[in-house]
Structure 1
Amino acid sequence: MSTETELSSVNSILGAIGQAPVSRIYQNESKTLVYINPEIAFVHNLLMDVNTDVQTEGWVFNTEYCYEMLPNDSKEINIPPNVIRLDKSEGQTYRECDPVKRGTRLYDKYNHTYKFEDSIKLDYVFLLKYEEIPTVFQRLITLRASGRAAVQLVGNPELSKMLSMQEAQARAACIEYECNQSDSNFFGTPSGTVYQSYQPYRTLAR
């Protein structure tokens, strides 16, 4: 379960650049995007920008495969609003369709149209809420945003160097998480199959 929130990460960034923590980000609880001061607005925007950058890479926690999408009554396919990347799923070998995301709709570059006659399976990368992503990725995002804040707000090269080293360690933890959770193998066997890849512990189970 994630333990970080946007507020705690903002305070971590503030602490990294030698600033005092805050008790809230917005002036009221309705989150009308009225920040308590310009510095907090800048730091929070940094955090959200880095959050988008990291999630756009596509990780095991925010990537879903073979999403079958059906055309609506207008023969258009609407894309969920939190999709930041998509691709045609493997196994669809026909090359008479090249779908891409344009706004909130799917566009066929091959036929130059928004119209689709049949369903299509897509692989989606979702932009999840900050509180929904794994803690190791929250840590990476916080440290990367801290590094940017150190450059843009403080201009301290030594601090920036130290934060870069911490960011590299955090990214290594994310790669480890990815390897453990994805259960990837050389054959690229998709989910839903019965193939079980070799694992070293099986040698001891003879």
Structure 2
Amino acid sequence: MPTLTSKLEAVNSMLGHIGESPVNSISDTNALPISAATAISVLDEVSRSVQAEGWHFNTELKVTLSPAGDGTITLSDDILEVDTTDTSIDIAQRGLSLFDRSNNTSVFSKDLEVNLTRLLDFTSLPEAARRYITLRASRVFQGRIVGSRELEALIARDEYNARADLMDTEGNNSDRTIFDSYNVASRIGINRNYDLS
């Protein structure tokens, strides 16, 4: 019975694209060939980049963050992006801390309700995202190791199709309509404030 793509399978797929032999395990990166260790690094890099776009599967809405005793709000190290739901509060993420740009301080006096984008482990991603990330990472990896334009074109075609599948899955899961876009709503004359989250 088929299962979801594991990180090991993704790495072996990347190695296969450049004609390298698969590895049996990726748990000890020090014991791996350089190409396999590089493949893991590229896979993680591309996963961060793709997830930073903010997808339905890694976005959390209306999360309450509370200040610590000293008034600072520290984020966990898997937060890629954070924004308040209150448009009158202008915050910025500085490292793992929040900064209030309106008042020029990192001290907050009350809880904040935010929407955030979280970096998920590869095994927590839906299959469409795993497939797209694997193919995009394969193209980047091949470009860095081999640099073949022919291989890049072949992988890019598959990557394009995987991106389309991911976008289709995203659309189905997020239940968005064209009216969820501020640009569309403003063009057709809807001037009410909407919570577009």
Q: Give yes or no for TM over 0.5.
A: yes
Aligned partner of 2:151 in structure 1 is 159
What SS does the corresponding residue of 2:104 show, helix, strand or coil? Answer: coil
Q: Is structure 2 residue 44 aligned with structure 1 residue 48?
A: yes
Aligned partner of 1:170 in structure 2 is 162
Aligned partner of 1:198 in structure 2 is none
Against the structure 1 CA distance between its residues 93 and 52, is the aligned structure 2 distance closer, same or farther, given a 3 Å change threshold?
A: closer
Against the structure 1 CA distance between its residues 63 and 35, is the aligned structure 2 distance closer, same or farther, given a 3 Å change threshold?
A: farther
Rounded to whole Å, the distance in 2 between the matches of 1:184 and 1:83 is 24
Q: Is structure 2 residue 80 aligned with structure 1 residue 88?
A: no
Aligned partner of 1:111 in structure 2 is 103
Structure 1 alignment gaps of length 5 or more: 28-32, 193-206
The number of equivalent residue pairs is 183
**Alignment check: 8 A CA contact 1:2 1:134 kept:** no
Aligned partner of 1:98 in structure 2 is 90
User: CA offset at residue 162 of structure 1?
Assistant: 0.7
What SS does the corresponding residue of 2:56 show, helix, strand or coil? Answer: coil
Question: Going by fraction, where is helix more abundant, 1 or 2?
Answer: 2
Rounded to whole Å, the distance in 2 between the matches of 1:70 and 1:60 is 24
User: CA offset at residue 6 of structure 1?
Assistant: 1.4
Rounded to whole Å, the distance in 2 between the matches of 1:159 and 1:98 is 45
Q: What does the per-residue CA deviation read over 1:2-56, in whole Å, with 9 as the maximum and x for residues that have no partner?
A: 71221110000011111110101243xxxxx524222111111011000001000
Against the structure 1 CA distance between its residues 152 and 186, is the aligned structure 2 distance closer, same or farther, given a 3 Å change threshold?
A: closer
What SS does the corresponding residue of 1:61 show, helix, strand or coil? Answer: helix
Rounded to whole Å, the distance in 1 between the matches of 2:87 and 2:121 is 34
Rounded to whole Å, the distance in 2 between the matches of 1:137 and 1:185 is 21
What SS does the corresponding residue of 1:34 show, helix, strand or coil? Answer: helix
Q: What does the per-residue CA deviation read over 1:108-160, in whole Å, with 9 as the maximum and x for residues that have no partner?
A: 12211110011111110000010000011100011011111221111211111
State the TM-score, normalized to the length of structure 2: 0.86
Structure 2 alignment gaps of length 5 or more: 181-193
State the TM-score, normalized to the length of structure 1: 0.83
Out of 59, 67, 71, the position equivalent to 1:71 is: 67
TM-align CA RMSD? 2.0
**Alignment check: 8 A CA contact 2:15 2:35 kept:** no
Larger mean CA deviation between 151-160 and 119-128 belongs to 151-160
User: CA offset at residue 105 of structure 1?
Assistant: 1.4
Out of 134, 141, 150, the position equivalent to 1:142 is: 134
Identity %: 32
Larger mean CA deviation between 114-123 and 34-43 belongs to 34-43
Paired residue type of 2:139: G
Q: Is structure 2 residue 1 aligned with structure 1 residue 5?
A: no
Paired residue type of 1:115: V
Aligned partner of 1:200 in structure 2 is none
